[in-house]
Amino acid sequence: MHVCKYCPKSFNRKDNWRQHLRLHTRPNTRLKRVAYNPEAVKQYTTETERLIHSRRVIRNER
């Protein structure tokens, strides 16, 4: 279970959680009812870098 730090939502899949986290990185999300949060920008950047890195590792192993 992946819980959002910035609102009470939680997600079974990390992909969905990351997609939701991205909404918090956009200042203009009033219609989506997801508040912009600068901490979410940092976390999303970290998660994205981690994902890119892990993909590179898998590629190197093959």
Where do contacts with Zn ion occur on this chain (CB under 5 A)? 4, 6-7, 9
Nearest approach in angstroms of CB 49 to Zn ion is: 20
Q: Which is nearer to Zn ion, 9 or 18 (CB)?
A: 9
User: In this chain, which residue has its C-beta nearest to Zn ion?
Assistant: 4
Give, as one character, the DSSP assignment of residue 29.
Answer: -
Q: Which is nearer to Zn ion, 5 or 56 (CB)?
A: 5
Q: Give dist(CA 20, CA 40) in Å, integer.
A: 10
| 48-55 contact pairs (CB < 8 A, 24+) | 48/18, 51/18
